[in-house]
Structure 1
Amino acid sequence: MTVKHLWLTDFRNHREVDLSLDPGVTVVVGTNGRGKTNLIEALAWLARGTSFRGAPTEALVRGGADRAIVRAEVETTGRTVLLEAELMVSGKNRIQVNRQRVTRLRDLLGHFRTTVFGPDDLRLIKGGPGNRRGWIDDLLVDLHPGNHALRGDLDRILRQRNALLKQSKGRATPDVETTLEVWDAQLIEVGEQLASARREVLTVLLPEVEVLMGALTDGRSRMSMKVVDQWSSKGLGAALVTARPDDLKRGVTTVGPHRDEILFSLDDMPARTHASQGEQRSIVLALRLAGHRLV
């Protein structure tokens, strides 16, 4: 899988870019603020449909413009694919694959995959659980683009359930209870499916991470990782029933895969609190490289 050509119009600080890329390693050199990372961000957007920096679409459009265009010609599995995204300051983004308009983001995914390793990746260790859930879910989409729909379904169900909880103002009326049952059934189906996929990919990923950590630390450190949750032992359905009074009181769903933690350990100690800065960087690099090998 190689990138043969990249074109940009009004993306970040780039007014126009027309860049041919040869096979092999490409090194981009320039002083600070010239837009080196922006080139990587543009390519990564075509692979993921989002900015790896977490930036909203309007931040990707050069000041004074109403849209940005990102286009790349990539070669994958022996064929050439032209990918194009028109990113709008207002309105819906437009995406094309081989000059054919696609209406769903998931139709863009899978044609081109990227692995980005940057300074902010230390958030995988030092940051909150959401950073680690985002990492594993991004990897799931890279492995199987259909998982993008699974993530979207979970987000939609949680938005609807949380809206109902807020509207209830803590009162468990018959109508509220009936509607919660509907959303709970969907949350159980989608949530358990996503949680199972997370555990499966960690199981596959761990041997690769162990090999890479051994190489990065000269075999001195042993890595482990697992999903930590508050519901799998009794099932998500039972956990939701138990948590319902608290959910109604707080107006938010307090249990489920959206609250799960992924625990990274080094020599059986939590990496977040016990690993040195250098060890944390090695862990993140091993995670990124292992994920890259899988996809």
Structure 2
Amino acid sequence: MHLRHLRLLDFRSWPLLEMELEPGVTTFVGRNGHGKTNILEAIGVLSTLRSHRVATDSPMIRTGAATALMGALAHNAGRELTVELALNSGKANRARLNTSPCRRLGDILGVVQSVLFAPEDLALVRGEPAERRRLLDELLVQRRPAHGGDLAEYTSVLRQRSALLKSASGALRRGRGDEATAALDTLDVWDGRIAELGSRIVAGRIGLLEELRPLVAEAYRGLAPESRSADMTYRFRVAEPPAQSELTDPGFIEAVLLTELGRRRQDEIDRGLSLVGPHRDDVLLTLGEEPAKGFASHGETWSFALALRLGSLGLLRADGIEPVLLLDDVFAELDRHRRAALADVALGVEQVLVTAAVGEDVPEGLRGTRHDVVMTGEGSGRHSAMTVSRAYTGQEDDDENHVIDSEDQP
């Protein structure tokens, strides 16, 4: 697939961006903080309904605006679909598909498909479990949009169950046993929903991981042939976790979760927290016999992070999905061997969007059409703008750069 048109309105530093896109490579060049990453972030949000940079929507809405809008025209296998997502401050977000309002945000999932590699991906190896869970969940959503519905409902149920536990815990500390009992009367119902939804999430993640593991291992060998072998294992956080091969049946997983919820109930009440469920799980990344987190060198960490994204790309392409490849300011961080390996993969992708602070950091064969992104205006009116597009020549030509002010675009 590829994007033919992209529109941003009050998204971060862009009051308005309207641009046509083509298959092949498009490069956005500009200083750090001038807004080039915001373009790729917007496409990623259209793909997964999540930002790779922030956990909430408010930072993506331009200061002073009430709504940020992202829209794209996606061409996929001879079909064209228009998708639009509005992030609204203080009220529910909304989505449109081919100009028709969607009942659920998840209805737009699968229209825009992308794989993004950014410097933040080092957190996949070095960071907290939530980073690795998100990797699996976002990939699952692109392959099976219904997974997004399970995640959204699980998050809602988890929030309500946690509030119930917190209320009961506070009542017990204040010596109000009757109030605590009343709060806990519905806990069995919430346990059932946590186990049911959680079992589908865990089964989906583990099934995905089994397909992803060999692709990541192969990609890592290509990036770091002299390093130890890379592997991935799902950590199902229960007292006596079954073998991973057993965790493919949602019914079996649901029974395990219900047992663990019963075992940990008093702990949860005492602490006022939900301690059981897929929100506590992790993916263990290993190099040889050691965990990558804490033992991998800087180069090995970059290789593992890149291998995770290349494996994701390979898995989607094996499904017949040709995602847009988004490369956010990564070439400056890679050595020559890793640059070349990434460029070789990128050249075989239908559409690639690249950002760079310095155009020459991008390998020569991967520069395509170049857009220069600049920051213009003063004070509260400071905003991103873009020069006219041109084929990349490798030579800076500031005298010919004609800046299109995004606020003056039709």
Give the TM-score, by structure 1 length: 0.94
Counterpart contact for 1:121–1:284, Cα < 8 Å:
yes
Identity %: 36
- Code of the residue aligned with 1:182 in structure 2: it is V
Counterpart contact for 1:213–1:219, Cα < 8 Å:
no
Q: 1:16 to 1:153 in 2, by over 3 A?
A: closer
Counterpart contact for 1:143–1:294, Cα < 8 Å:
no
Q: 1:89 to 1:162 in 2, by over 3 A?
A: closer
Residue number in structure 2 paired with 1:162: 162
Report how far residue 55 of structure 1 moved.
5.0
Q: Is residue 209 from structure 1 mapped to residue 223 from structure 2 by the alignment?
A: no
Residue number in structure 1 paired with 2:23: 23
**Secondary structure, counterpart of 2:114 in structure 1:** coil
Residue number in structure 2 paired with 1:227: 234
Q: 1:269 to 1:156 in 2, by over 3 A?
A: same
* Aligned partner (choices 225, 235, 238) of residue 218 of structure 1: 225
Which stretch has the larger CA shift, 76-85 or 265-274? 76-85
**Secondary structure, counterpart of 2:293 in structure 1:** helix
Residue number in structure 2 paired with 1:285: 306
**Secondary structure, counterpart of 2:117 in structure 1:** coil
Residue number in structure 1 paired with 2:147: 147
Counterpart contact for 2:206–2:234, Cα < 8 Å:
yes
Q: 1:254 to 1:58 in 2, by over 3 A?
A: closer
Residue number in structure 2 paired with 1:44: 44
**Secondary structure, counterpart of 1:235 in structure 2:** helix
Distance of 2:64 and 2:7 partners within structure 1? 19
Distance of 1:236 and 1:126 partners within structure 2? 28
Distance of 1:185 and 1:92 partners within structure 2? 28
**Secondary structure, counterpart of 2:29 in structure 1:** coil
Deviation sequence 1:132-164 (CA, Å, 0-9, x none): 112211111111110011111221221122122
Q: Would you say how many aligned residue pairs link Structure 1 and Structure 2?
A: 295
Structure 2 unmatched ranges of 5 or more: 243-254, 317-410
- Give the greater-gyration-radius structure (CA): 2
- Code of the residue aligned with 1:20 in structure 2: it is E
Distance of 2:24 and 2:229 partners within structure 1? 33
**Secondary structure, counterpart of 2:81 in structure 1:** strand
After TM superposition, the structure 1 = structure 2 runs for residues 79-228 of structure 1, keeping only pairs within 5 Å, are 79-169=79-169, 170=172, 175=182, 178-218=185-225, 220-228=227-235
Report how far residue 174 of structure 1 moved.
5.7
Counterpart contact for 1:166–1:252, Cα < 8 Å:
yes
Counterpart contact for 2:94–2:105, Cα < 8 Å:
no
Give the TM-score, by structure 2 length: 0.68
- Code of the residue aligned with 1:136 in structure 2: it is L
Distance of 2:278 and 2:12 partners within structure 1? 34
**Secondary structure, counterpart of 2:313 in structure 1:** helix
Counterpart contact for 2:73–2:81, Cα < 8 Å:
yes
Residue number in structure 2 paired with 1:255: 276
Report how far residue 242 of structure 1 moved.
0.9
Counterpart contact for 1:224–1:268, Cα < 8 Å:
no
Structure number with greater CO (CA < 8 Å, separation at least 6) is 2
Distance of 1:280 and 1:100 partners within structure 2? 44
Report how far residue 27 of structure 1 moved.
1.1
